[in-house]
Amino acid sequence: MTTYSGRHAAFLEEIGVGPLWVRRTAAASMGQADEVAAVAAVVAEEQRVAAPAERAPSAWTDASPASCAPAVAEMDWMQLQAAVAACTKCRLCEQRTHTVFGVGDQKAKWLFIGEGPGRSEDAKGEPFVGPAGKLLDNMLLAIGVKRGVNAYIANIVKCRPTDAMGKDRPPTAAETDACMPYLNRQIALIQPTVIVALGKTAALSLLKRDPDTSVATLRGSVHRYAGLPLIVTYHPAYLLRTPADKRKTWADLCLAMQTYAHAGG
Ligand code: URA
């Protein structure tokens, strides 16, 4: 048995987990913007020219005869980012300030997937920048990972879902289905060693579980998505409301580290 000390201990303290003992094996394992905007403008123009009569529901659906763009599953990073920036596949595009593509190392070994952008993320165009994001950053640091370095952070949907009152809400099944090809392409391009699903929406969308399935029943096992190991844990926003469950999340992160080590990460 061993304890975490120094930096790790400080981060554990920060996420609300006191001194902890973990198994030794776990411890040991332990300016394209302009170009994207230009491609997005071409995509938007393609969509405008194709509208409305001959246009498929979206010029970016794989079935669209009007689009000469590659299928999402064939896109490179630049094309994918431009496609997301110009996406009109669901009505979330109507209210968005920014699409939130994802952030991090495109060759990251760790991929963290949340639900969808909230108000702060919509305003900034970057995932997890609000209070939940601060907690997520501390969770990453606790396992020796830093935002942008060997980690990629993405969401199930790229635009902020809001209710009639303008408040954040989970994405609908249709919104999730419309957006999943983008996430699937991100996963295929990154080829992470471990995926961590943050919260119910991410876990249920990726594992295709019944809406009644709880995060609690999915925790503690190594699932697979696209052939890659997937660990389920609580969403940082939930942990802010329910700090008592931070210990469970730390156990999940330990399982993720073990999985990472076994996969040779
Ligand atoms: N919650 C999420 O699931 N994703 C974000 O990017 C922000 C908050």
Q: Is the CB of 128 under 6 A from ligand 1?
A: yes
pLDDT for res 146: 94
| d(CA 33, ligand 1 centre) in Å | 22
Structural domain contains residue 133: yes
156 lies in the same domain as 252: yes
pLDDT for res 168: 96
| d(CA 49, ligand 1 centre) in Å | 34
- Work out the average pLDDT over 34-44: 56
138 lies in the same domain as 26: no
Q: Which atom of ligand 1 is nearest to the CA of 235?
A: 3
Please indicate whether residue 56 or residue 235 has the higher confidence score (pLDDT): 235
Which residues lie closer than 8 Å to 116 by C-beta, 6 or more apart? 100, 155, 156, 157, 158, 159, 160, 161, 170, 171, 201
40 lies in the same domain as 74: no
Q: What is the token pair recorded at 51?
A: 């509208």
Structural domain contains residue 226: yes
143 lies in the same domain as 19: no
Which residues lie closer than 8 Å to 185 by C-beta, 6 or more apart? 72, 73, 75, 80
- Work out the average pLDDT over 216-237: 98
| d(CA 115, ligand 1 centre) in Å | 5
140 lies in the same domain as 236: yes
| d(CA 192, ligand 1 centre) in Å | 20
Q: Which atom of ligand 1 is nearest to the CA of 126?
A: 6
35 lies in the same domain as 139: no
Please indicate whether residue 98 or residue 55 has the higher confidence score (pLDDT): 98
CB atoms within 10 A of CB 119: 14
| d(CA 170, ligand 1 centre) in Å | 10
Structural domain contains residue 255: yes
Q: Give alpha helix (H) positions in the chain.
A: 6-14, 24-28, 33-50, 77-85, 119-124, 131-142, 173-190, 200-207, 215-218, 236-241, 246-262
pLDDT digits (tens, 9 = 90+) for 135-169: 999 999 999 999 999 999 999 999 999 999 999 99
For the ranges 14-23, 30-39, 58-67, 181-190, the lowest mean pLDDT is seen at 58-67
92 lies in the same domain as 42: no
125 lies in the same domain as 242: yes
Q: Is the CB of 115 under 6 A from ligand 1?
A: yes
Mean pLDDT across the chain? 85
* Segments forming the whole domain that contains residue 140: 70-262
Structural domain contains residue 85: yes
- Work out the average pLDDT over 186-213: 98
- Work out the average pLDDT over 168-188: 98
Structural domain contains residue 184: yes
The number of folded domains in the chain is 2
Q: Could you tell me the CATH number of the domain that includes residue 248?
A: 3.40.470.10
pLDDT for res 265: 78
DSSP state of 94: G
pLDDT at 60 over 90: no
pLDDT for res 144: 95
92 lies in the same domain as 173: yes
Q: Is the CB of 132 under 6 A from ligand 1?
A: yes
94 lies in the same domain as 202: yes
Percentage above 70 pLDDT, the chain: 74
DSSP state of 62: T
pLDDT digits (tens, 9 = 90+) for 77-124: 999 999 999 999 999 999 999 999 999 999 999 999 999 999 999 999
pLDDT for res 264: 85
Please indicate whether residue 261 or residue 34 has the higher confidence score (pLDDT): 261
Structural domain contains residue 211: yes
pLDDT for res 64: 43
pLDDT at 56 over 80: no
Contact 173, 202 (CB under 8 A): no
Structural domain contains residue 63: no
| d(CA 19, ligand 1 centre) in Å | 28
Which of 100, 115, 139, 186 maximizes ligand 1 atoms within 8 Å of its Cβ, making it the mutation to test the pocket?
115
- Work out the average pLDDT over 235-255: 98
- Work out the average pLDDT over 2-22: 54
47 lies in the same domain as 91: no
Radius of gyration of the chain, Cα coordinates, nearest whole angstrom: 19
21 lies in the same domain as 104: no
Contact 138, 252 (CB under 8 A): no
Query: pLDDT tier at 53 (50, 70, 90 boundaries)?
Result: very low
Cα separation values, 137 from 147, 179, 223, 241, Å? 6, 25, 23, 17
